[in-house]
């Protein structure tokens, strides 16, 4: 539904995006993840036609952004990082105005505005002045305007930035609900945002795409070694030396009342760990494999890209 082909963006001698390519399929909620200044907002602006790439192509719903910009903009609802609004207008007046800007006329305006208000749950503030609303409600109003033309695609750039914890949860729940009926690209540098909303993630840093996939694929690519959690009955430091003597174990660390065991990529038989413990006369209270979190994968990706230790 969305395809970027070798997108590069330069401002003078500075390269902001460097040969970025990826696809977003219909019905996906894609997390576009990266640190501040990575190039996320520039990418969003190129997809929506707000700015042009220096080179490369963007195809949205079968339309080339260079050749058919109006058609592309017609299928996208866009929420910039700072929700656009006229603070002196009421919510209802602003949404009616924006419906007209988007080409709606007659009864279609009232219908679209009513539906957007319902979707974003802002009925109780629709007669209030936008400038007097909380940041959370202003974000909801921004999302409402992006929904007015009932676009199949939503581009949301840092939709929870600056919100308090309660507002963040509300906006996340709203986006999750919208994901049932829309293809969404969610740009953020906040890891929990991606973990609770998105079904796929791509990571960008310094204008370059590092990787993409679902969490299991990313974890498999960057954590080929296995990690295990072990709690023994009568644990002591001798268990560390015992475990380190087992073939395939790279490292063992005490963690609270248990041990974290790291194995190499060829380790496939965790029973040798439990056998060694039992033979040494220890009991086992807990033994489980550990899965790398999104945060683990993200930190390792950035560390590798910056030349750090993997």
Per-residue pLDDT tens digits for 22-31: 999 999 999 9
H-helix or E-strand containing 88? none
pLDDT at 309: 45
Tell me the domain boundaries of the chain.
2-212, 224-291
pLDDT at 303: 72
136-175 tens-digit pLDDT: 899 999 999 999 999 999 999 988 888 888 888 888 888 9
20-55 tens-digit pLDDT: 999 999 999 999 988 888 899 999 999 999 999 999
What is the CATH number assigned to the segment(s) 2-212? Answer: 3.40.50.300
pLDDT at 307: 66
pLDDT at 156: 93
* CA–CA separation, 225 and 165 (whole Å): 35
pLDDT at 310: 45
pLDDT at 217: 56
Q: Which fold has domain 224-291?
A: Alpha-Beta Plaits (3.30.70)
Our CA angle for 249, 255, 258, nearest 5°, is 75
Ranges in the chain, pLDDT < 50: 222, 224, 309-310
Closest CA to 84 of 142, 167, 133: 142
């Amino acid at each position: 539904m969305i395809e970027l082909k070798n997108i590069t963006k330069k401002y003078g001698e500075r390269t902001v995006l460097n040969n970025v390519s990826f696809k977003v399929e219909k019905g996906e909620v894609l997390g576009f993840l990266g640190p501040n200044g990575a190039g996320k907002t520039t990418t969003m602006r190129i997809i929506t036609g707000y700015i042009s790439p220096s080179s490369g192509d963007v195809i949205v719903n079968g339309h080339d952004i260079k050749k058919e910009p109006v058609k592309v903009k017609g299928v996208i609802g866009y929420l910039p990082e700072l929700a656009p609004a006229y603070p002196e207008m009421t919510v209802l007046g602003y949404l009616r105005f924006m419906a007209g800007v988007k080409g709606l006329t007659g009864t279609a305006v009232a219908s679209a505005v009513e539906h957007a208000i319902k979707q974003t749950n802002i009925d109780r503030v629709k007669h209030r002045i936008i400038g007097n609303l909380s940041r959370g409600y202003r974000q909801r109003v921004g999302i409402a305007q992006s929904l007015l033309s009932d676009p199949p695609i939503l581009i949301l750039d840092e939709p929870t930035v600056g919100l308090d914890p309660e507002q963040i949860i509300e906006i996340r729940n709203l986006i999750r609900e919208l994901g049932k009926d829309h293809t969404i690209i969610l740009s953020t540098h906040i890891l929990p945002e991606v973990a609770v909303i998105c079904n796929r993630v791509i990571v960008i840093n310094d204008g370059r795409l590092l990787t993409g996939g679902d969490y299991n694929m990313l974890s498999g690519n960057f954590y080929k070694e296995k990690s295990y959690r072990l709690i023994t009955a009568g644990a002591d430091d001798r268990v560390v030396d015992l475990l380190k003597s087992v073939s395939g174990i790279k490292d063992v660390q005490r963690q609270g009342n248990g041990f974290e065991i790291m194995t190499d990529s060829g380790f496939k038989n965790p029973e040798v760990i439990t056998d060694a413990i039992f033979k040494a006369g220890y009991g086992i209270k807990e033994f489980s494999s550990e899965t790398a979190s999104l945060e683990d994968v993200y930190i390792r990706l950035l560390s590798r890209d910056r030349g750090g230790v993997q």
